[in-house]
Amino acid sequence: MSQPGPHGQPGSLDEAAQQQLIQEIGRTIVRALPPGWQEATVEYRELGTHHELVAQLIAPNGTAIPLAVPAGVGELFVRLRHGMYQPDRGTWVSALYRLQRPGSYTVDFNGDFEPNWRTAPPPEASAEELRRFPRPAAVTPDWLTPRSTGAGRLRTAEVFDDGGRPITERPEISPAERDQVVDYLERAPIVLAARSYDTDRLDPNRSPAVPMTFHTDGSWIWPGAVGYYLRQHGVAPEADLVAHIRSRGFQVPDVEEPLREQAVAVITGEQR
Which residues, other chains included, contact 15 with Cβ-Cβ below 8 Å and sequence gap of 6+?
A: none
Cα 71 to chain center, whole Å?
A: 27
The sheet with strand 94-100 has its strands ordered as 64-67, 50-58, 39-47, 94-100, 104-110
My answer on whether 20 and 121 are in the same domain is: yes
Say if residue 178's pLDDT is above 90: yes
DSSP 8-class letter at 209: -
Confidence of residue 164 (pLDDT cuts 50, 70, 90): low
For residues 161 and 263, membership in a common domain is answered with yes
Is 101 a residue whose pLDDT tops 80?
yes
Task: Verify that 169 and 119 share a domain, yes or no.
Answer: no
| pLDDT score for 133 | 92
The answer to whether residue 232 is domain-embedded is: yes
pLDDT band, very low/low/confident/very high, at 153 (cuts 50, 70, 90)? low
- Would the pLDDT of 190 be above 80? yes
Does residue 135 sit within a domain?
Answer: no
Of 85, 109, 125, the residue that ends a domain is 125
Q: Which amino acid is at 55?
A: A
96 falls within a domain: yes
CA dist 37 and 217 (Å) reads 50
In a domain, 33, yes or no: yes
158 shares its domain with 120: no
Counting the structural domains of the chain, the total is: 2
What range does the domain containing 70 cover? 15-125
Which range, of 9-23, 34-48, 103-117, 177-191, averages the lowest pLDDT? 9-23
Is residue 149 in a domain? no
Which CATH number fits the domain that encloses residue 40?
3.30.500.20
